[in-house]
């Protein structure tokens, strides 16, 4: 690629002209700003110390050297400390010829390194997946695909939080008020039925807390002394002791939930290489805590609870085992991390978890290192912001969450209504229409979420996401369909454009802009993988689509009288569609050929 050619030549030029060879990080090449002539710009300031000349003089000397040495550079201009370089049309044409039919364009060579393990989803088995889980799953799925495209082996894993007090709340509510109801009898997905009992527990528990407070008990004490909460705690203790009746009910209700999850994952397009269960890892976590006690790096208090003193790391104490011997989230995460490392000998362990858990993962790494696991430094927390709705935050226990299944169905219906209104399915069969509505609806949802920097909180508005203009999934999907229609028309007219036979014309500025954008696709994948940011890729695709639509409006294709120009523009369109499809696939989004 041209950036590497320039980097090599600039390095040699500095040695020849200034007697010093710069470090790679000193050679900063970026896209030229639109208001200046040029394709690529060298930032000269990092090189003036070795040149011992002004930035403008340094830039002029390097520009003259590059123009003399490289056929790829046809002219240059200097703006203060910036050297703007114009790349030869021939380079862009050769680039198109080389990669236009390469279906793997953009994907980087295998790094042959230890696998990258990415954990995402991590649901609780006391409720269905909701909008917050949707962002988690879409981020995890896309990051995995992008890191894979960057040349790494990736293992997608899920940790199901299938035990704990929250699970017991649903179980206890079902025992008391379920009347042996099942998903089949209720006509509901199993995860939704179990979630209903989680909400019911909270409603009944609030009544008990209120009664205690009316007798003079303070609010915090009432929460602990509520008979329902005490029963739930007792149920958790029985579960950890292996009580057969409790374990049987736990397995039955969890199976209902897993069945529901599978349907949601399938529609969302999510898959995993392996699923871990907290019920199978917390005991390993307990044994690691015991190991820490033996080594003297953890402390046991008088009530029997076990803690990690993190004051030497600028933090406070962290509970690892309760006084009654039951474990906490940190306990099972210790066990899961150890098990996962042993399974894969991972080069990186990436956790896709909301930013409310930042402290948790700081502690996890510190405790693992205290116990003696140096690989704890390989843990990376991909911390993402919360998703809110125009009407405010969601609360699971109050039943005010946006259910993932209902959200996907709403997106389907919204896409159906808008697409039908715009007349985009007038010649579609019922089956083809349904497939398009699903593609557009889920594409809108996924793109709207993924285009936002993961670190930022975001507000999701379904109506804004399904729009055929602006920075949206449907706008990108429609552009792909438009190009596909263009290529079909060419085929129908017998125009072949697999190879440019004769090139002897000057490229249009819009053609160069598109080629420049296409040229950046591999480096965008690398950058998005490095930063674990689908947003970088999302916005790259939008910029490409925007450039193409401007080209489409301003530059003739079928009306072009020069056949070579027409064939070139068709080939450019085909390459653009290929990159759009490839990039959207990395976001987990399908693009239609007709719309």
The pLDDT tens digits of the residues spanning 348-381 come to 999 999 999 999 999 999 999 999 999 999 999 9
Predicted local distance difference test score (pLDDT) of residue 506:
87
pLDDT bracket for residue 467 (50, 70, 90): confident
What is the fold of 120-388?
Rossmann fold (3.40.50)
Q: Which CATH superfamily does the domain covering 404-586 fall into?
A: Isoleucyl-tRNA Synthetase; Domain 1 (1.10.730.10)
Give tens-digit pLDDT for 38-55.
999 999 999 999 999 999
- Bridge-partner residues for 529, per DSSP? none
Q: Look at residue 407 in the predicted model and tell me its pLDDT.
A: 92
Confidence of residue 396 (pLDDT cuts 50, 70, 90): very low
Which residues neighbour 233 within 8 Å (Cβ) at sequence distance 6 or greater? Answer: 165, 168
Q: What is the DSSP string of 556-590?
A: -STT-S-HHHHHHHHHHHHHHHHHHHHHHHHTT--
Is-same-fold flag (2-87; 120-388)? no
pTM score: 0.91
Q: Give 212's Cβ-side CA count (13 Å radius).
A: 19
Q: What is the pLDDT of residue 391?
A: 63
Q: What average pLDDT does the structure give for the chain?
A: 93
Residue 500 and residue 389: Cα distance in Å, rounded? 51
How confident is the model over 429-453, as pLDDT tens digits? Answer: 999 999 999 999 999 999 999 999 9
CB–CB of 454/535 below 8 Å?
A: yes
pLDDT of the residue at 328: 86
pLDDT value for 400:
55
User: What are the residue boundaries of the structural domains of the chain, listed by start?
Assistant: 2-87, 120-388, 404-586
Above 80 in pLDDT, residue 401?
Answer: no
Question: Alpha-carbon distance 136 to 144, whole Å?
Answer: 12
CATH of domain 2-87: 3.30.1360.70
Which tens digits make up the pLDDT trace of 303-327?
A: 999 999 999 999 999 999 989 887 8
Asked if the model's pLDDT at residue 566 lies above 50, the reply is: yes
Of the two residues 397 and 93, the one the predictor is more confident about is 93
Q: Where are the alpha helices (DSSP H) in 241-308?
A: 244-268, 278-295
Name the H helices within 178-243.
Answer: 183-186, 190-214, 219-225, 227-240
Note whether 345 and 312 are within 8 A (CB): no
Cα–Cα distance, 375 to 384 (Å, whole number):
23
For the cut 90, the answer to whether the pLDDT of residue 254 exceeds it is yes
Instruction: Provide CB contacts within 8 A for 118, sequence distance 6+.
Output: 140, 143, 144, 147, 154, 155, 156, 157, 350, 352
Is the CB of residue 72 less than 8 Å from the CB of residue 92?
no
Burial of 36 per CB tally in 10 Å (0-12, 13-18, 19+): exposed
Taking alpha carbons only, the member of 277, 274, 229 closest to residue 250 is 277
Q: Per-residue confidence at 397, pLDDT binned at 50, 70, 90?
A: very low
Could you report the per-residue pLDDT of 502-529, keeping only the tens digit for each?
677 889 999 999 999 999 999 999 999 9
Burial class from Cβ neighbours inside 10 Å (0-12, 13-18, 19+) for residue 565 reads buried
- Higher-pLDDT residue of 384, 469: 384
Contacts of 504 (CB under 8 A, 6+ apart): 564
Residue 185: CB atoms within 10 A of its CB come to 10
């Amino acid at each position: 690629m041209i950036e590497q050619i320039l980097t090599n030549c600039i390095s040699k030029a500095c040695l020849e002209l200034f007697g010093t060879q710069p470090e790679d990080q000193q050679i900063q090449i970026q896209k030229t700003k639109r208001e200046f002539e040029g394709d690529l710009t060298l930032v000269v300031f990092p090189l003036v110390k070795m040149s011992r000349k002004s930035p403008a003089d340094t830039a002029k000397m390097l520009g003259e050297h590059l123009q003399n040495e490289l056929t790829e550079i046809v002219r240059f201009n200097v703006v203060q400390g910036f050297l703007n370089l114009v790349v030869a049309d021939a380079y862009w044409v050769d680039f198109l010829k080389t990669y236009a039919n390469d279906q793997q364009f953009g994907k980087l060579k295998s790094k042959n390194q230890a696998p990258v393990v990415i954990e995402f989803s991590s649901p609780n088995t006391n409720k269905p997946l909701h909008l917050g889980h949707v962002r988690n799953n879409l981020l995890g799925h896309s990051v995995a695909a992008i890191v894979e495209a960057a040349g790494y082996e990736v293992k997608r894993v899920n940790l199901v939080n299938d035990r704990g007090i929250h699970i017991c709340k649903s179980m206890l509510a079902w025992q008391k008020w379920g009347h042996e109801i099942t998903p089949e009898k209720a006509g509901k997905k199993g995860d939704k039925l179990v979630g209903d009992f989680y909400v019911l527990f909270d409603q009944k528990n609030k009544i008990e807390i209120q009664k205690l407070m009316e007798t003079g008990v303070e609010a915090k004490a009432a929460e602990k002394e509520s008979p329902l909460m005490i029963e739930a705690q007792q149920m958790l203790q029985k579960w950890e002791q292996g009580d057969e009746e409790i374990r049987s009910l736990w397995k039955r209700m969890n199976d209902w939930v897993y069945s529901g999850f599978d349907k949601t994952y399938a529609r969302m397009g999510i898959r995993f290489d392996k699923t871990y269960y907290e019920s199978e890892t917390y005991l390993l976590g307990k044994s690691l805590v015991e190991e820490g006690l033996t080594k003297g790096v953890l402390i046991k208090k008088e009530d029997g609870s076990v803690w990690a003193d993190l004051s030497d790391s600028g933090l406070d104490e962290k509970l690892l085992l309760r006084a009654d011997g039951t474990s906490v989230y940190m306990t099972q995460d210790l066990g899961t991390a150890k098990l996962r490392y042993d399974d894969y000998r991972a080069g990186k362990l990436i956790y896709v978890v909301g930013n409310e858990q930042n402290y948790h993962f700081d502690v996890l790494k510190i405790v693992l290192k205290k116990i003696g696991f140096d690989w704890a430094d390989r843990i990376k927390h991909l911390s993402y912001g919360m998703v809110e709705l125009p009407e405010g935050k969601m609360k699971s226990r109050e039943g005010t969450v946006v259910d993932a299944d209902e959200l996907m169905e709403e997106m389907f219906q919204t896409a159906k209504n808008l697409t039908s209104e715009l007349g985009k399915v007038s010649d579609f069969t019922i089956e083809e229409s349904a497939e398009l509505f699903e593609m557009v609806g889920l594409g809108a949802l996924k793109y709207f979420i993924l285009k936002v920097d993961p670190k930022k909180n975001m507000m999701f508005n379904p109506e804004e996401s399904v729009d055929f203009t602006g920075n949206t999934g449907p706008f990108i999907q429609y552009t792909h369909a438009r190009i596909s229609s263009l290529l079909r028309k060419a085929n129908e007219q017998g125009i072949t454009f697999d190879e440019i036979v004769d090139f002897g014309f000057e490229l249009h500025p819009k053609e160069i802009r598109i080629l420049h954008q296409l040229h950046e696709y591999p480096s965008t994948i690398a950058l998005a993988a490095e930063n674990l940011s689908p947003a970088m890729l999302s916005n790259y695709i939008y910029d490409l689509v925007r450039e193409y639509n401007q080209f489409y409006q301003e530059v003739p294709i079928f009306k072009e009288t020069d056949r070579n120009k027409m064939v070139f523009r068709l080939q450019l369109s085909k390459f653009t569609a290929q990159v759009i499809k490839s990039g959207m696939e990395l976001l987990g989004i399908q693009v239609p050929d007709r719309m």
